[in-house]
Chain A
Amino acid sequence: MISTIKRLFVCTLVAAFSFVGFTQTVQAAMIGTEQIVAAENAKQNQARISAALERPDVIAQLEQFGVSKADAQARVAVMTDEEAAMLAEQIDTLPAGGDVLGALLLVFFVLLVTDILGLTKVFPFTRSIR
């Protein structure tokens, strides 16, 4: 029984390692388009090169912002280095397009409240609490 498990384990390992070896040879031989273009752009923009390192960060950040782990991984996988870097740095400050309602109401409310507090006097119908 144990020897069967051992044999299975060894077979799996051998299969896994030969596959790893195979992909590495292919990657060492061909230079990908993204690498080529990134190297050209690197002369102008150094920041992009390090962006690949930030991907786990971006996934963690998306999770913090309420996205499920599986969704976050799938989302980050299709991002370019530039997009990943942008998200990593600005996830809490980038404009988040969301709604059409509410803002004018909010400005109205802010001014209404500041009026009532006596800090402003924009509306003729308000009376300060002081």
Chain B
Amino acid sequence: MRRFPCWHQLAPGTAILLLVLLLVGCATQTRSLLTSATDTLPRRVELTSVPFFPQERYQCGPAALAMSLTAAGIPIAPDALVPQVYVPAREGSLQPEMLASGRRNGALSMTIAPRLDALLAEIAAGTPVIVLQNLSLPLAPLWHYAVAVGYDLDRAEIVLRSGTTEREVMALSTFEHTWARGGYWAMITVPVDRLPATVDQAAATKALVAFEKSAKPDRARAAYHTALQRWPDGLSLLLGYGNAAYAQGDREAAVVAFRRATTLDPNSAPAFNNLATVLAELGQTEPAIQAAERAVAIGGPWHGEAMATLESIRAKKRDAR
């Protein structure tokens, strides 16, 4: 109430008008989307195959995530996700945990750009989108996760799986208000063989590295492989691919990836360091020492690691004599 110190002095009509104005505002993204030529977006899309799990009290996070994961080919029930994302004292689920839980269940999870056109483009590409809405006003927030599964540009509507409603049709402008009050936060979960339509290389790399951290090596490798199809020159992606292949026990594939990384960026100490390590394990001691020396020469923040690698390969060579 501090924002309106004179609330009680206002005439009721003015007060209600103010409240209405506050609620209406202007849905700028919706307006520009509807007025501009959007030849890239189909006029109407609805992903009818996305399942519906009605939420229990406070459990819209697990329900939304379960719908998204199941649509990505990872069948899971909301109940199984409650221990992974629900925070009892907050009576809800928090965004970092929603993302982490998506990965924990074998999907790549990432946020998308905070724009309505990106949201609709993902739906048009066949990916349902989990959105965070504040259905109430900032002074009494009511946070809610729903899954956007369709839209109709001609009718200016969006279709959501929301709460206990399987097909909630909401005016696009109303949705934009509730989504704006949720900070335009939206996430998707996709299987490792598919990359989201709107994601950029930096965001994809971030999501993949996070995925590699907890995924099985073969899954991580498959995910990097998918990303390398779109960005063949992604250095971090190549290094990730090499590391995942190595973790899987496929040293030959790791060498190929690290070699390519060293040609892409001849000043990448981690690429030379990891190449040296794998070559040494394959018994190719001389090329391994050369690569390790190059890593040491590049130095920088990885000087210590490179020195350790070089030393261990030299020691191995001495032992072999």
Interface residues of A (CB under 8 A from B): 25, 28-37, 39-40, 62, 64-68, 71, 74-75, 77-80, 83-84, 86-87, 91-92, 94-104, 106-107, 110, 114, 119-124
Q: Is B299 an interface residue (CB 8 A)?
A: no
A103 to B: closest C-beta gap in Å: 3
Cα–Cα, bound, A2→B270 (Å)? 50
Residue of B134, B141, B144 most packed against chain A (CB within 10 A): B144
Residues in A with CB closer than 8 Å to B301 are: 39
Q: Known contacts A80-B213, A97-B143, A100-B144: does B100 contact A36 (CB below 8 Å)?
A: no
| Contact of A36 with B270 in the complex, beta carbons under 8 Å | yes
| Contact of A37 with B206 in the complex, beta carbons under 8 Å | yes
Residues in A with CB closer than 8 Å to B1 are: 114
Q: Known contacts A33-B212, A66-B88: does B144 contact A104 (CB below 8 Å)?
A: no
| Contact of A96 with B90 in the complex, beta carbons under 8 Å | yes
6 A-B pairs closest in CB distance: A96-B92, A66-B88, A98-B92, A103-B136, A103-B142, A100-B163
Interface residues of B (CB under 8 A from A): 1, 7-8, 12, 15-16, 55, 57-61, 64, 83-101, 103-104, 132-137, 139-145, 162-164, 182-183, 185, 205-206, 209-210, 212-214, 236, 239-240, 243-244, 246, 270, 273-274, 277, 301-302, 305, 308-309, 312
Residues in A with CB closer than 8 Å to B57 are: 99
Residues in B with CB closer than 8 Å to A77 are: 214
Q: Known contacts A28-B305, A33-B239: does B213 contact A95 (CB below 8 Å)?
A: no
| Contact of B93 with A96 in the complex, beta carbons under 8 Å | yes
Residues in B with CB closer than 8 Å to A32 are: 243
Cα–Cα, bound, A37→B149 (Å)? 33
Residues in A with CB closer than 8 Å to B92 are: 95-99
Cα–Cα, bound, A110→B319 (Å)? 79
- Write the chain B residue with the least CB distance to A71: B83
- Write the chain A residue with the least CB distance to B16: A122
Residues in B with CB closer than 8 Å to A101 are: 163
| Contact of B88 with A30 in the complex, beta carbons under 8 Å | no
B110 to A: closest C-beta gap in Å: 11
Q: Known contacts A33-B243, A65-B87: does B140 contact A99 (CB below 8 Å)?
A: no
Residue of A29, A65, A79, A91 most packed against chain B (CB within 10 A): A29
Cα–Cα, bound, A79→B164 (Å)? 30
Q: Known contacts A33-B212, A97-B132: does B89 contact A65 (CB below 8 Å)?
A: yes
The 21 listed contacts between A and B (C-beta, < 8 Å) are A29-B309, A32-B243, A33-B240, A37-B209, A66-B89, A67-B88, A71-B83, A78-B104, A79-B97, A79-B100, A95-B185, A96-B92, A97-B60, A97-B143, A103-B135, A103-B141, A107-B137, A107-B140, A114-B8, A123-B12, A124-B12
B299 to A: closest C-beta gap in Å: 13
Residue of A37, A75, A119, A120 most packed against chain B (CB within 10 A): A37
B67 to A: closest C-beta gap in Å: 13
| Contact of B236 with A37 in the complex, beta carbons under 8 Å | yes
| Contact of A78 with B91 in the complex, beta carbons under 8 Å | no
Contact of A95 among B103, B104, B134, B206 (CB under 8 A): B134
- Write the chain B residue with the least CB distance to A87: B96
A118 to B: closest C-beta gap in Å: 8
Cα–Cα, bound, A98→B143 (Å)? 6
Cα–Cα, bound, A34→B89 (Å)? 32
| Contact of A99 with B144 in the complex, beta carbons under 8 Å | yes
Contact of A99 among B8, B137, B142, B309 (CB under 8 A): B142
